[in-house]
Amino acid sequence: MERDLYELLGVSKSASADDLKKAHRKMVRQYHPDVNKEPGADKKFAEIQEAYDVLSDPEKRKLYDQFGIAGVKAGPVGGGAGPGGAGGAGGPFGGGSPFGGQGGAGWQGVDPETFEEIFGGMFGGRGGRGARGGRARGAGFGGFGDDEPQVQRGADHEVKETIDFTTAARGGTRSFTVNGQNIEVRIPAGIADGAKLAVRGKGAGGAHGGPAGDLIIHVKVAAHPWIRRDGDDLLMDVPLSVAEAALGTTVRIPLLEGSVSMKVPGGVRSGQKLRVKGKGIARAKADPGDFYAVLQIEAPKDLDAAQRKLLEELAATLPCPRTGPAWEA
């Protein structure tokens, strides 16, 4: 029993030409033997092609709707061979294959758009996609290419650049010379060592009208001679003499910008931190960090006789700082 051609394509008898084309394209993508290697795919594809060959031709479709496959084979009244007539036998209606050889599955009867949609990417035709989503335009396969050059985005250019500590912390602009070109770059406040900055359109040029790539800057932040960073906080070691640590003092502290007078209370310990609020790194849309003076008590190394005598007299009057269970064993 002959299968219904509409059923083969999965459409109704009232399907429009556009509906037929969409259904055919879908089945070609699914069953063509160049794509589908399952047993029986070639036979299924041949049936689909024959069904589309009949239904996409208004005269053949009219004959089929009135008389079925027999009407199509007989052809129009008054002469003319149908698909099963002389010179045109093929598929399930004539015993041969209309696709480039007996039993083989070729591309006769498949519209160029469907062909390139499936295989364009393999052979450089219109179905391929260029770099960054650009459509590949080149010599196609089977005569469908249009020889237009492929539009391509340029490659990114990556460089390593060193930024001074103050600019990295406070932000600003820096000029870099890349490939002989002077490029001014905005440095955001608080940029960290190892961060990357992208400068749009300053990479390699695009091909055939495509956009240029980007310049990618890998940032290295140079060390500061006396300030170091901890997140958004800034720290600086502040040396004190034994007498200053014991008696207290006032020290002028250099900040990243300007300076501040800091009072050091008597009796401080080495490693103790004194905070200057809000004088750290101020990043955009974030609370500023703080500045910390890290106290370092330095004992004198070279004492003259008078100094040594005074310290010895003082030491005899001071309590031993090593007390508690750990020191009683």
Closest CA to 219 of 170, 174, 155: 174
Q: How far apart are CA 19 and CA 3, in angstroms?
A: 19
Q: Indicate the residue type of 280.
A: G
Tell me what the pLDDT averaged over the chain comes to: 80
Count of all residues that appear for the chain in the document: 329
Q: What is the pTM of this model?
A: 0.53
Domain 227-315: CATH superfamily, name plus number:
Urease metallochaperone UreE, N-terminal domain (2.60.260.20)
Give the other-Cβ count within 10 Å of 51's Cβ: 26
Closest CA to 265 of 281, 255, 287, 250: 250
Please answer whether residues 50 and 98 qualify as being in contact, where contact means their C-beta atoms are separated by less than 8 angstroms.
yes
Kindly give the residue spans of alpha helices, DSSP state H, lying in 56-205: 58-67, 69-74, 91-94, 112-123, 165-170
Give the other-Cβ count within 10 Å of 103's Cβ: 10
Please answer whether residues 48 and 38 qualify as being in contact, where contact means their C-beta atoms are separated by less than 8 angstroms.
no
What pLDDT, on the 0 to 100 scale, is given for residue 42? Answer: 80
Angle at 180 (CA atoms; ends 179, 183), nearest 5 degrees: 85
* Cβ contacts of 9 within 8 Å, gap of 6 or more: 15, 20, 23, 24, 27, 48, 51, 52, 55
Q: CATH 2.60.260.20 residue ranges in the chain? A: 157-221, 227-315
Note the pLDDT tens digit of each residue in 76-97: 654 444 444 433 434 444 444 3
Name which CATH class applies to 5-110. Answer: mainly alpha
Helices 17-31 and 112-123 pack at an angle, to 10 degrees, of 30
Q: How confident is the model at residue 248 (pLDDT cuts 50, 70, 90)?
A: very high
- Residue 272 pLDDT > 80: yes
Secondary structure of residue 36 in the 3-state scheme: coil
Q: CATH 1.10.287.110 residue ranges in the chain? A: 5-110
Note the pLDDT tens digit of each residue in 35-66: 777 888 788 888 888 888 889 889 889 888 88
Name which CATH class applies to 157-221. Answer: mainly beta
